Amino acid sequence: MSGNESDTIEARLGEQEYYRPPPAFVGQANVSDPAVYERFEDFPEGFEEYARLLDWDEHWETVFDGSDPPFYEWFGGGRLNASYNCVDRHLDSYGDKTALLWEGEPGGTRRIAYQDLYRMVNEFAAVLRDVGVTKDDIVTLHLPMVPELPVAMLACSRIGAPHSEVFAGFTAPALADRLADADSRYLVTIDGYYRRGEFLDHKRKADAALEDDTVDIDTVLVFTREDELHPDTDLEDGRDVLVADRLADHHGERIDPVSRAANDILFLMYTSGTTGKPKGAQHGTGGYLSYVAGTAKYLFDIHPTDTYWCFADIGWITGHSYIVYGPLAVGATSVMFEGAPDHPHRGRVWEIAERYDVDIFHTSPTAVRMFMKWGEKHLQPYDFDFKHLTTVGEPIQPEVWRWYYEHVGKESAVIIDTWWQTETGGVVISNLPALADMKPGSVGQPMPGISPAILGGDGEEIEPGMGTAGYLVLSRPWPGMLQTLYEDDERYISEYWETFSETDSDDWHDWVYKAGDSAVLAADGYYRVLGRLDDVMNVAGHRLGSMELESAIVEVPQVAESAVAPRDHPEKGQVADAYVVLKEDAESSEEIREAVVNAVSEEIGKFARPENVEFVTVLPYTRSGKIMRRLLTEISNDRELSDTTTLEDPSVPEEIRQQVESH
Ligand code: PRX
């Protein structure tokens, strides 16, 4: 990172004023005593406070085992079941209370009480057993935002089978990669779902994925969105099983929750990294569940009486931790919805918030920018009343934060910005809402027990208030952290640990987790996260690796090579620009441009489509043969070019810029 870059970062953001948390919020907060920070400084015992929020079959013997860094174990010796903790244990007090409140797109609400959820989870667990799933089989789910998704997750965890949910927007090739990497033999999907008025044929993606030779699936369980099967859905005899048929055989059946060791896998969540192959972030049972239950209570401030709405998709980590496991572990009512926020009208979100009297609303800056663009007139007709608002996934610009505060929070809700990652399992940097003033654009202070730092490229710590951006690292383990990358310990070390750790040391203090983000630490101890330092992009809140897009693009026959760079976008945060070099006999054309965009839509999903395709004759290669995407990012964003001396040919970026400008 150049000094220049960090100076401009500071200049752009400027210092912001503080906002005090509203007294009415503080008065009811779960945590309003600052002593919480001291308690968690007692490492690792402080984290037992989160573990005690759960019901354990057997108490842990060791809080933390760091003897084999960076492969850590939390609450070793302890045993528990995640579905028991999210469902069964609430039945006595809250059996009739709504656990999941689902809004279907064409209308239709389902209120699923804890008692209903218990029945649904048990019956589906019985179906899983019936088709042969046993403990430790990894079950891949490819489900959209329907109640069957959390039901399937909890049913898997009930019988001790780790789940691996693949975002429904991913197409067949992306699904096939993830199925193969997880060695899954079972896939759970649905015939279709609604989006913007259309009943989409979803099962076809599974059919296509299963044609891939690397995939070895015995059984596909198919849920049905409506009473009738989607007209385009075919079922393959001997492989595809209609869940509805099997459920009829298991009506009212109860399956005892399987007691899992704290460090048994709860789930895999694939995420993008710096190479083309997605990484299977592996989360354990006891540490993860303790951490998300703890943060749901302390940070999201969920009370069992609250209606909580995390406006994300369960196909990403945010939904796993803060629609399903966290809120249900603390006995809340968690809202989920199907479809798009502007269908059938742009007031849909606020209409739902009013209808269900949502107290806590959790979303992304991209969504807030979208609401802001649509205008206040869409909010005005509705009488919603939030006490707590949050954002996640990308930096929020101070003016966007203020709009959220004024128009959504009506100046009476607390707002927290939460920084975390698929790998961290739960939020690791964010102000506890009753304990710190809000500052637009900053994520704030570390969560209790979390120990971040900002390092320069040389590994030296950058002191607070220097105004210099550096690598955001976490120097102490925490229970929500991933255990490893599924069956790839080596990559786990190289992606996250190698840069700043003494990798031959067996003392965990010498191991430092590199998040891959750059950040600035202000004199008041507040962090601002600026964005990724590697070739990972954040497109409208979706994490994408440049390499994944590039591998899709080079499948277009006329394309010789390609590099993708993020461009800042006023609403989506970032969009992808594709730089494409064509083969010698090909000429740039609208058809090829479309083929490039379609290749990404088909290989990955529509949500990843590049916004711009730039035909160029060269790409900026370093002398060691690596594409310097940083320079393309500068071109895409009209920034001054940084150091080009390590390039094979330092004049290339200027040449590319001219080619781009001439189009
Ligand atoms: O770059 C950071 C950004 O999102 C990345 C993690 O993406 P993912 O694993 O998909 O998880 C997203 C939801 C937890 C981070 O490396 N990011 C996340 N939260 C913030 C953020 N950037 C700035 N501010 C945030 N609050």
Domains and CATH numbers, the chain: 82-95+114-258 (3.40.50.980), 540-662 (3.30.300.30)
Cα 182 to middle of ligand 1, angstroms: 24
Per-residue pLDDT tens over the stretch 374-418 = 999 999 999 999 999 999 999 999 999 999 999 999 999 999 999
Band of the pLDDT at 8, cuts 50, 70, 90?
very low
Any atom of ligand 1 within 6 Å of the Cβ of 311: no
Q: What percent helix, strand, coil does the chain show, rounded to 5?
A: 30, 25, 45
Task: Pick the closest to residue 86 from 323, 267, 315, 319 (CA basis).
Answer: 323
CA 572 to chain centre: 16
Tokens representing 541?
A: 């809140």
Provide the residue type at 358 as one letter.
V
- Ligand 1, residues 419, 431, 482, 574: which to mutate, most atoms within 8 A of Cβ? 419
Q: Average model confidence (pLDDT) for the chain?
A: 94
DSSP string, 499-520: TTS-TT---GGG--EEEEEEEE
Alpha-carbon gap, residue 660 to 641, rounded angstroms: 14
Cα 543 to middle of ligand 1, angstroms: 8
Which numbered atom of ligand 1 lies nearest the CA of 423?
A: 9
Alpha-carbon gap, residue 587 to 222, rounded angstroms: 45
The phi, psi pair for 201, rounded to 5°, reads: -85, 105
Task: Pick the closest to residue 79 from 255, 285, 325 (CA basis).
Answer: 285
Locate all alpha helices (DSSP H) within 302-347, ordered by sequence. 317-319, 326-329
Q: Is the pLDDT of residue 10 over 60?
A: no
Q: Assess contact for 278 and 181: CB atoms under 8 A.
A: yes
Residue 3: its pLDDT value, please?
Answer: 39
Which numbered atom of ligand 1 lies nearest the CA of 542?
A: 10
β-pair type (414-418, 388-392): parallel
- Ligand 1, residues 404, 517, 520, 607: which to mutate, most atoms within 8 A of Cβ? 517
Percentage of the residues of the chain whose pLDDT score is greater than 70:
98
End-to-end CA distance of the chain: 30
CA–CA distances in Å: residue 75 to residues 48, 83, 342: 8, 18, 44
Per-residue pLDDT tens over the stretch 237-280 = 999 999 999 999 999 999 999 999 999 999 999 998 877 788 99
Any atom of ligand 1 within 6 Å of the Cβ of 480: no
Any atom of ligand 1 within 6 Å of the Cβ of 442: no
Alpha-carbon gap, residue 597 to 46, rounded angstroms: 49
Q: Is the pLDDT of residue 421 over 80?
A: yes
pTM for the structure as a whole? 0.94
Residue 292: its pLDDT value, please?
Answer: 98
Alpha-carbon gap, residue 419 to 454, rounded angstroms: 14
Alpha-carbon gap, residue 341 to 302, rounded angstroms: 24
Identify the residue whose C-alpha is closest to ligand 1 atom 15.
Answer: 421
* 570 C-beta neighbours (distance < 10 Å), count: 10
Cα 260 to middle of ligand 1, angstroms: 30
Q: How many helices (H) and strands (E) does the chain have?
A: 22, 30
Q: Assess contact for 453 and 461: CB atoms under 8 A.
A: yes
Alpha-carbon gap, residue 630 to 619, rounded angstroms: 12
Task: Pick the closest to residue 22 from 32, 13, 9 (CA basis).
Answer: 32
Cα 558 to middle of ligand 1, angstroms: 35
Per-residue pLDDT tens over the stretch 306-353 = 999 999 999 999 999 999 999 999 999 999 999 999 999 999 999 999
| Residue whose tokens read 């609604």 | 194
Cα 79 to middle of ligand 1, angstroms: 31
Q: Cis (ω within 30 of 0) for the bond into 70? A: yes
Any atom of ligand 1 within 6 Å of the Cβ of 271: yes
Q: 103 in helix, strand or coil?
A: strand
96 burial level (CB within 10 Å; 0-12, 13-18, 19+): exposed
Residue 278: its pLDDT value, please?
Answer: 87
Provide the residue type at 373 as one letter.
K
Identify the residue whose C-alpha is closest to ligand 1 atom 22.
Answer: 394
Q: Assess contact for 393 and 538: CB atoms under 8 A.
A: yes
Classify 661 in phi/psi space as left (phi over 0), alpha (psi -120 to 50) or beta.
Answer: alpha
Identify the residue whose C-alpha is closest to ligand 1 atom 10.
Answer: 543
Alpha-carbon gap, residue 167 to 174, rounded angstroms: 10
Residue 6: its pLDDT value, please?
Answer: 43
Residues forming beta bridges with residue 536, ordered by sequence position: 545
Q: 261-278 as b/e, with b when 16 or more CB fall inside 10 Å?
A: bbbbbbbbbbbbbeeebb
Any atom of ligand 1 within 6 Å of the Cβ of 327: no
Residue 14: its pLDDT value, please?
Answer: 63
Any atom of ligand 1 within 6 Å of the Cβ of 534: no
Residue 11: its pLDDT value, please?
Answer: 40
Cα 421 to middle of ligand 1, angstroms: 5
Any atom of ligand 1 within 6 Å of the Cβ of 441: no
Provide the sign of the torsion angle of the four alpha carbons 184, 86, 484, 430, taken in this order. positive
Q: Assess contact for 215 and 207: CB atoms under 8 A.
A: no
Alpha-carbon gap, residue 359 to 367, rounded angstroms: 18
| Residue whose tokens read 């573990």 | 51
Cα 54 to middle of ligand 1, angstroms: 27
Any atom of ligand 1 within 6 Å of the Cβ of 419: yes
DSSP state, residue 339: S
